[in-house]
Each structure stands twice: as structure tokens, then as C-alpha cells.
Structure 1
Amino acid sequence: MEQRSLVSFFDSLSHPIDFSPHRRWVRYRVEDRPLETLIWLGALLRVWVFLDGRPYWMDEGSLSANLRGGPILDFSRPLAGDQLAPFGFLIPERVLVALFGGSVYVTRLIPLVCGIAALGLFRRLAERLMSRSGAIVAMILFAFSDDLIYYSSELKPYSWDLAIGLVVTLVSLGELAVDSSRWRLGLLALVAIGSPWMSFPSVFVVAGCGAVLLAHRLLAGRWRDAARLAAIAGGWAASAVVAYRASSRLLNEATSMYVFWNFAFLPFPPTTRKALSTTSGILLETFVTPLNLVPPFLPYAFAGLAVALLIFGTAALGRRDPAALAILLAPLALALAASALRKYPFHGRLIVWLVPVFFVLIAEGTQTVRGRGGRRLYGAVLAILLVYPCCDAVNESTGRRMRDFNIHGDLRKNQFME
């Protein structure tokens, strides 16, 4: 009996294996449903890093100390460890810790959920604004973003900010595309008025998107819709003021936060040679962190390609859908203005919420190359743009347990700033 089974086994090896079902499955996934496949791959990388359960680093440990040992709604004194986070992030974190304990898996669960949810939200954004091929390029950049993968398993509100920013942008684009309705305006009001309590950088997204929507309605002569949007803006402004004052009490008066982030404020006005150099360095550093499009070698060449694609994509989307482009760029412009006024640092993990804007415009730029430069140039540009960040993200996600931070707490060394 045993001899016969061995004979059957070795006999089977002489016949070719039929891989056609596997080829059909791969073709179905890669050719027919690429965006969904990229979402699954991006989610897998995020879950993989989360399950690794690396120890807290300094900021995470400091913030975690504010989640244990006290009433969930007690914000009567500043947060310990010179930390700051929105109430909408702190309260659910405290609830989870009270229910399930303060392990790294419990406290990082909300960032993980937000990081995975952002994949689906970004897919909707890319499909709304771009062609299928452009959306695939954008989705590859987003799914294999090293920063987005890492911050999906860090006890800080960066992936939370990312998800909320995408929600606000999608709701605004939806309102832009069709006539206003009570249900849609109610949703917009709920998202806008609640956002200052949920995410600090949402103030830029809501203010920028709201200004574009209001201008769009006024230029179209839709006065009733404009009045309703103005009423929502008033409610948001009141909510933002109260949330700002309440959040300010969470920060110790002797905070060193502004000293720490001093390097990330844009000089204003940038009239001197040194100021111009500092400004260009801060802006170019965006392509290193959080975008991770510039490898350690030939930094200016790779940054130059990213800038060119960004310009091409901005011009192309502006010609096709100028209102949608304004929705994307208005929050970016406000964040830059806030940095020049020394109110918000424009750097690294604090602008993770702007990653979707950059990836959409850069991916749109590749479609300009595709249309004007031909297949070979398009393939070369995609290789230069995608190979390094994708390989680096996979390597970092599956290789090292701990990451080496630079002096500013970033995942990579600065390449354009002193």
C-alpha cells in the first residue's frame, strides 16, 4: 500500500502542474480589480507592522501615560510629558485603555483602524479625480507609503488626522459635484462643526474646502446655498474657537514644543538669500518625509522629478476640474500660511494629512507624461517614481522591529535642510 502511494506520488511529478486557475486568479486581481488588490496589500503591511508590537518610543510613552489612572473625561490639567492631542482622539483611547488595558495593541488599535480606513477613502478620492491608470499609480504610492504604514501603528493622532482630512475632502467634493440637499448639508455641517474637536489640522481642511465651496456657490449665483454654507461656517468657527481654547489648556505653559519645531516654520517674508534657502529646503524636504520619494542617492534628481510631476498634475487637473483642484490646494495653502505665521510646523509627521494631495497630483502628472512622452518615457518615469518607495516600504515593514529616528523624530535623515 505504501509502495503504491509512493509510485503514485512520483508518477504525478512527471505530469505538468496546471497553473491556469492561479493565472486566472492573478489576472482577476491585477487586471480587473487592481485598486481593491492594492487596498488589501496596503492593509496587510499595516497589520503586519501593528502585530509586531514594537515598544513605545519616547513620544508614545509620554502620551500613553495620559491615558491611564484617571477619569476618562478629566481634562482639568495639562497633559504630562509636554504632549498634546485632540479630545476626539484622547477620549476613545482612554475608553479602550479602561476596558482592555494599556498594551501597545490596545492603544494603537485606533491608529490602525484609521490607517486602513484611509486606504478605502483614498481610493474613492483617486477614482473621483483621476483616470483608472492615474488612480492605480496614486494608490500604489498611498498603499506602499512607508510613513503611512508606520504611523498606522503609532500611538499618535497622525493617521487619525489623515482619515478625518480625507472624509472632509470627500464630503466637500460631493457637495461640489451636485446640487445641495438638506441631507448633504446636514452631513457637511456635522463633519465641519465636529472636526475641531477631532483633529487639529482639520482646521485647514475645513476652512480651505469651505472657502472654495462658498466661492463656487457665489460665482454661480446660488445665494440660498451660499447662505446655508455661511451658516455652517459660522458654526464651525464658533466650534473651532472653543476647541482651541479648551485644547490650549492641555498644553503646559512651559512647553518646549515651539522651540522643538522651530526649524519647520517657513521664513516670512523670504526676502534674503538665507530665507529663500531655508524655504526651499523645508518644501523639498516634504518629498523625503512624509512622501519618501527621494532615496539617499541623487536627492535633487529625484526631488526634481517629483516637483515636475507635481506641476504637470496640477496643471492637468486645473484644466479638467479647477474647482476640485482648489479643494485640494486650499488646505495646503492655509497650512503654508500658518507655518509662515509660526502657528503650525510644515514638516514630516505633522503634515501626513497632506499626503493624499501630493500623491494625487504627482500621479496625475504621470498621466501627462504618458500622453505626451510615449510608452517608454512613461515606463521609465513610473520605475523611477515607484521602485524605491515601494521596495523601501516593504523592507522597513517586514525587516526591522525598531526604527532609527533623526533629531526631529522623523523616519529618515534630512536631505535638504541643515
Structure 2
Amino acid sequence: MIPRRYLFVLLAFVIIVIGLLSHPTSREQLRQAKDYGVTAITSLTKGTPSHNQDDKHDDIPVDILPPEHLDPSAHAGVSSLTQDPQQTSVQEQGIGATHLAQEDTSSSHEDEENAAPADDPLWRGAKWMFEGDNELYPNPVIDIDTLKKYAPHNWKGHGQQTVAIFLATRNASMQDSYFLAAQQQVYRILWDPRSKSTRPLTVFVAPFVRKEQRDMLQAAGAYVREIQLVPWTPLYSLDSSPRWKDQFTKLNLWDQGDFSKILYLDTDAFPIQPFDALFDTVSESRMCNPDLLDEADRINVVEMCNYTFTATRDPRGMLNAGMFVITPNKAMHENLFRGMNRDREKYDNNIVEQGFLQYVYREDGPFPGQYVDRKWNAIENQPEDEGVTVILHEKLWIFYFMPDHWAVHYFNDTWMDMRELYQSPRFEQLRAADGLLQPIA
């Protein structure tokens, strides 16, 4: 008798193959899909541990383990000139001999800092099928050292507005699913004619994010900035994923005073249509209700009472922090840090920073949030959302499990478009038009 969990894995593998066959694809991709499924089955039968990632709160656990984590010291795929697998290793190419970063984005941590954190009894959530390495999407083969010499795309200097994402993967593999998603975000936000912005993209990275991952994002035109982690301890043991433990780091976005406005997107909140209206017309400034402020917060009422917080609600009416627009403000940043621990009993710890922001920007509080149409952050989307959605908040890289979904091919097709542009002579011309990198204060 075959155990039920093995039958489930076999069924999942069949779904992968059916999903790929439902759309034109290369034999190489089909082979990779087969290997992906076989690795998942092998990992399950051998009890291979899965690995922690970064962001969000909208997931359904499935008892499938991802492929084994690739040893970064042995993983070919990115170098000064990124390589296809089977080609020269990272060490032989001498990655990082010169690092012309916008600021020092190389991690000061040792290699072991990239490892997933030790098991924490406060974070008891399951690992997920969309975590770990994804071999279906080969990295672009580009000259990283040349391309990263150019300034960030759309860069206008101090005081500008920016789109932002936060990458906090502890997986050093260049095939890490969240790193691949971050790459596609760079393409969609900066280059894709269907969705590109006129603003720059800032990729905030945790201190442990691998240098080669940072370099790839920078070469593609993003501004890469390391951000200090914000530790947070829940009141009680959570059924939440360990990868959420870094999510309070988003509070440090309020401290990025060199930007006049920040539109934050989760790594899996993909723009599929133009979205600059969130900067231009949708988000609005508001005035706080000072009478509702705590006494400690009233000291800075003049500095922080004029604020911006634009977000959406999920189908249950809860704030979803996968997209929000803010105006950075030092006093508000300090206010958030005071409330983060002081008010832990007043917000839902299970949804981490999302619960806290929902409490801070509640309608009957001193800073009522502006909540806009769900098309700006479509989570748990429906068939009628096709053609209406502007930002699609889904794990698109695993949609081959959902062959009937209207966005089933979105990640795959955009990945191919991205590789085609990045690997063309035209892309270096586009990056050269951004000008050479200058020191950024």
C-alpha cells in the first residue's frame, strides 16, 4: 500500500507536467519540470529538510518539499559574465573582484550567515511548496560587471519617489524562488512595456542576502540598499511561517527620508498593468486626529500628523500589507517603533507586521488609513479579475499547478521576455543611457 503522502506528491508531479504541456514550452523546460518533480519526491522519501524564505501571509500549506538547496560554492549560473549550468564555476570567474555598488551592498557577514535560522519554537509554521529552488527559470546570461557600472534606471536624485521591494531570503542559491521573483519584479517595474513605471525601483535587502544576488538585481537597473533588520518577538508561539520573522523590517521604510514617497510591493505582488497612478492620483495625504494620540506620541504631533498610508483590504476586510504607499517620516518611524512592542496585545501577532499596521492605521485611530480598490493588490483573485487587476498578488511561479487560472502563463512568459531583452545588445544600450554610476548619498 503506497502511503497517501507519496500518492499526493505523484499527483502533484502529474499536474506539473499537464500544466506545462498546456502551453508551448521547450523540451528543456519540460525536462526541468520532470527533474523538479523527481527531486521533490526524492526529498520527501529521504526526509530532506526544506529552507526558509521571506515574505507574506496568504498561503495554503501543501506537504511537498522543494528541491534540495544548492551549495552556492558549487552553483554555476551567475558570474561576472553569467554562465549557463555546466559552464565555468563562480570561483573560476572570480566574482566580486571589483564591486561598483551604488552603496556598499556586499554583505559583511560570513557564509554561514546565509543559512536558514535555527528552529525557533515561536515560529511553528509549515514550509511551503513554493519555497526553495526553482530550476524551471534559468537566470539571464549577462555581463554583470559591465551593467552594474550604470546608474539605477529612472534615477532622479534625492527627494524622488520610488517603488520598493524587500528581499530577505536566506537561501544563497541563484535559483531561489524569491530571488527569481525579485528579478521579475525588476523587469516588470523598470522595463516591461505592459507595466513599467517612471520611478526607480529600490530593492531593500536584508544583511544576509548574497552579494551575487544583489549584483544581478543592480545590473538589471535596480537600486540595491541594505536595510537594518527589525527583530520582533511575538507574545505567543505562532503557527506562522519562519520566513515572516523578518517582516517587521518593513517599518524601517518610514526612515528612508531621502525618498519623498515609497510605493512598497511584496516580492510576489506583480504589476501587470501601469500602476503609476498610485503615486500620481490614488494615494493622498491625510491629517491625523491628535486627540487620539498617546501622550508620548503628542510630542511629535506637528512632525508626523501629515501622513500617507494607502493600502487595500483582502476579501475578509483585513489589511493586506503586500502593497502600501507611505511618506517617510522620522517622527512616524519612532512612533511605530514605540508601538510595535508596547501595543503587542492590541494586534494580531499571527499576521506579524500586517496585524500591527492594521492596528496603527485603523479607521477609529489617530491615523486612519486610506483603503483603495483591490485591483491595486488583487489577492485571492477570481476569473472576473482578468483585465481589471493592476497588481496581481500571487505566487505566479507555481501557477503550473493551476492550469485553468487566467494568469497561469504570466510568470513563464514574462521570464522569457526578460531573458530576451537582457541578453540582447539593446539592453546594454538601455543601461548605458542611464549614465555611469555616481556616488549616491
TM above 0.5? no
Shorter-chain TM-score range:
under 0.3
Q: Choose between structure 1 and 2: higher strand proportion.
A: 2
Higher RCO, Cα 8 Å, sep 6+: 1
Normalising by the residue count of structure 1, what TM-score does the alignment of the two structures yield?
0.26
Q: Which of 1 and 2 has greater Rg? A: 1
Normalising by the residue count of structure 2, what TM-score does the alignment of the two structures yield?
0.25
